[in-house]
Structure 1
């Protein structure tokens, strides 16, 4: 399960921000106290990878400010490597605010325009590629940050294979971030070099004009492994020429859906890198996702280390 010495199993590329939010049911307009957290889609994936016993590093930029200190400390606390994180004194660390309403609805307010991560560019690719990860995770959220981050993702897509890394793509379409047309084009352009595509059924429509599993699988190159998430209906997965398999959701109730897709991707990828079949990996990923949606917060539902070790036991030889 462990990587070659000094070589991470997974590198996730993206932005982690400071999150401020009132207590559940509170309102940003009236709350006199806010809880402070650190959150980010690609960091969530890395956290799940690390919890399951593999090595993960997070590649990003943060400001040379107290919020940057907080992000780096949080990444380390999650057991994720920070060697590929850079400080940029010319730009601040991104922040966002979130209300969680009593009925479960969320209102999210981003202040990430002009953040340090939004000025990442292709020059950041060199260190990432030289770390020679076994798998490289990129997301449409990073493309949405701006032209520089988009070029970074495209550069990584064209150089991952020569570094011996599997390219893992999560479209992660977020209309509120803007640049969704560019995100869709970038994801489509990367498909020919993508080794693992993990997407939601709601994202398949904008990307392929289809949402039915059979039609989505037919829209993706046969060489590409695909995991199609369908919320309460579970997931479908396809590994190359193998027949697609359906795995039901394990969630008993939903308190907070944020982070579920990241946990599923982290669990699936960790299991596949550890020798699991696609179906077994989907079951592990679904278990993590189900646990996350049953708790408040992106990561609180991840299994404890001893339980995580039990999930990963006996998966076989590393992929």
Structure 2
């Protein structure tokens, strides 16, 4: 979607100045991985309008492959308005009913779009957009399997998209189809019932999951697989804008997974990328390159010189 971000500290209903940017859970992850040096392709739909052109241009600028994305000549690009506060609750308004993205259907997920992919990442937001988008998500998972790719899933629950029952019915079954799960503690409790740790173990023992990463309410994270579990605390940094932290965490963790890093290092890199993103406005401004991530992680874990000279 096109993101219109109100001037820092100004409530949305009083803001008169907005900064144009781009937002979207899967596209945020794609941008994060591309900046970290990975090849990333975004599959999605925008309108054939100025907002859609801006979205595609920004993704291209970050090195994201958009060759399989579509521009709809009739439906508009989705719009997101929000404000930005350090401590007050953030007001987010979505305008995506009837958007090009909401019209996503299985026919738009072409098998050739997944050729060469090692991991296919999707969130619960996409299937909650519409019934056709839900069918497209299931088609994506099947085509990922056919291509030999691993499926990564983040529920990314957004209450404005549906009731608890709708989330449980639509997104709960998708959790059980994922090879890699990155989910909030509250999301697992909502979608699967019971405690988050018990839900994670159930996914490992009864579902397809190889690894489940649980983002806890205290902002720490735990990675669980059949070999054990590892915990990572959140790094203490000044927060300018908390939105986008989860997608940044996913990009950081997937980067470690793709490089075959041990779980504790992947968690540390994920926490570092998230810590960098929350220190900057918008969902993607703070996404680092690989070298910037490594410098920041060294500083956060070992201290010392904070100025890169």
Q: What is the TM-score with the length of structure 1 in the denominator? A: 0.86
Q: Determine which of 217, 220, 230 is the counterpart of 2:203.
A: 220
User: Partner of 1:168: helix, strand, or coil?
Assistant: strand
Q: Determine which of 128, 137, 147 is the counterpart of 1:153.
A: 137
CA contact (8 A) 2:164 2:190 kept: no
Aligned residue pairs, count: 294
Partner residue, 1:259 = 244
Partner residue, 2:58 = 74
Give the Cα separation in 1 of the matches to 2:154 and 2:62. 21
User: Partner of 2:44: helix, strand, or coil?
Assistant: strand
Partner residue, 1:14 = none
Q: Determine which of 185, 188, 200 is the counterpart of 1:204.
A: 188
Alignment pair present for 1:140 and 2:107: no
Give the Cα separation in 2 of the matches to 1:203 and 1:310. 32
Give the Cα separation in 2 of the matches to 1:101 and 1:255. 7
- Larger mean CA deviation between 258-267 and 118-127 belongs to 118-127
CA contact (8 A) 2:35 2:288 kept: yes
1:145, distance to aligned residue in structure 2 (A): 0.7
Q: What is the TM-score with the length of structure 2 in the denominator? A: 0.88
CA deviations on 1:248-283 (whole Å, 9 max, x unpaired) are 111333332111110111111111111111221111
Give the Cα separation in 1 of the matches to 2:96 and 2:250. 24
Alignment pair present for 1:232 and 2:215: no
Listed as ranges, the gaps of 5+ residues in structure 2 are: 298-309
CA deviations on 1:264-314 (whole Å, 9 max, x unpaired) are 1111111111111122111111111122123222122222453247789xx
User: Partner of 1:197: helix, strand, or coil?
Assistant: strand
CA contact (8 A) 1:284 1:311 kept: no
Partner residue, 1:296 = 281
- Larger mean CA deviation between 20-29 and 166-175 belongs to 20-29
Give the Cα separation in 1 of the matches to 2:195 and 2:112. 34
Listed as ranges, the gaps of 5+ residues in structure 1 are: 1-16, 313-319
Give the Cα separation in 2 of the matches to 1:256 and 1:232. 17
Q: Determine which of 223, 234, 245 is the counterpart of 1:249.
A: 234
CA deviations on 1:145-197 (whole Å, 9 max, x unpaired) are 10111001111222322211100111111111226534433433234431101
User: Partner of 1:27: helix, strand, or coil?
Assistant: coil
Partner residue, 2:100 = 116
